[in-house]
Amino acid sequence: MSKIKVGAVSYLNTKPLLYGIEASAIKNKIELSLAYPAQLAQQLREGSIDMALMPVAALQEINGAKIVADYGIAANGNVVSVALFSALPLDEIDTIILDYQSRTSVRLTQLLCTEYWHKEVRYVAAGPDFISEIKGKTAGVIIGDRALEQLPHFKYNYDLSAAWKSFTGLPFVFAAWVSNKELPQDFLEEFNAAMAIGLEHLDEIAAANHIPYYSLKTYYKDNICYHLGEAEKKGLALFLEKISSPQNL
């Protein structure tokens, strides 16, 4: 049997899931590649990979896409690593730079501005050095490891998952394992079991990937929800429903 091509992001928040792959026999059945979230969606769409830990906003854009594991990247409140950073409070912002790495975070920002904060702003696509442009009335959405690194550097940051929780009462799912083709059921069951392994070693993973600006033990145990339960699935269904609404396109 040829190896199944699996794509994932290389952020700190995926370390527990990648640990599970490396610690199990599933690693011998896959060909793993790393990219940022928006790239993974494109690779799955064009068929260069079979399965991806993909931003959920792209689910509606890929024919036949379906979630194939019980694990992903979600949060039930503060996620910390997906936030709107600003030098000024929210009511003084007139421009938001949108991080190009994740369509889900972009759509969530736009949705919150429209329905929750009731704020009209100008959106600007981020360039490679966009963080230096976050000043004055211009805010920016920063995701992943870069967001954790920027926590000490901005007076204001608005956690997007916490805002979603306040808005809907539900957790927010950022990424899920998705395929757009039929994969062997025994492989999917083994892959699912591998995901659970990493969650048994969070202290060890946090210690091995220490960063000076945030506690990864807190991040892995209190901020990220890796198991996608019923509440997470409800939150995901509501998000997909909202971003498919004509008023939010």
Of the pLDDT bands very low, low, confident and very high (cuts 50, 70, 90), residue 103 is confident
- Give the model confidence (pLDDT) of 160-185 as tens digits: 999 999 999 999 999 999 999 999 99
Q: What is the CATH number of the domain that holds 26?
A: 3.40.190.10
**Angle formed at CA 64 by CA 6 and CA 67, multiple of 5 degrees:** 55
Number of domains forming the structure of the chain: 2
> Do 23 and 45 fall into the same domain?
yes
Strand order of the sheet with strand 30-34? 30-34, 4-8, 51-55, 172-179, 66-75, 225-227
Neighbours of 87 (CB within 10 A): 16
Q: Are residues 97 and 156 in the same domain?
A: yes
Question: Which one-letter DSSP state was computed for residue 135?
Answer: B
Give me the pLDDT at residue 248, please.
Answer: 53
Q: Are residues 122 and 96 in the same domain?
A: yes
Task: Please name which of 141, 143, 164, 142 lies closest in space to residue 236, comparing C-alpha atoms.
Answer: 164
pLDDT of residue 119: 96
Q: Which domain holds residue 58?
A: 4-75+173-231
Q: What is the pLDDT of residues 25-50, one digit of tens each?
A: 999 999 999 988 778 888 999 999 99
**Are residues 207 and 140 located together in one domain of the fold?**
no
Position 246 confidence tier, pLDDT thresholds 50, 70, 90: low
Chosen domain end from 115, 136, 168: 168
Other residues' Cβ atoms within 10 Å of the Cβ of residue 118: 8
98 located within any domain:
yes
pLDDT-based confidence at residue 102 (cuts at 50, 70, 90): confident
CA 51/CA 65 separation, integer angstroms: 10
Assess whether 158 and 198 both reside in one domain: no
DSSP assignment letter at 247: G
Q: Are 205 and 16 in contact (CB under 8 A)?
A: yes
Question: Can you give the pTM of this predicted structure?
Answer: 0.94
Asked if residue 164 and residue 97 are part of one domain, the reply reads: yes
3-state helix, strand, coil in the chain (%, to 5): 50, 25, 30
For residues 72 and 101, what is the distance between their CA atoms, to the nearest angstrom?
17
Judge whether residue 134 has pLDDT over 70: yes
Report the range out of 57-61, 173-177, 242-246 with the highest average pLDDT: 173-177
Residue 240 lies in a domain: no
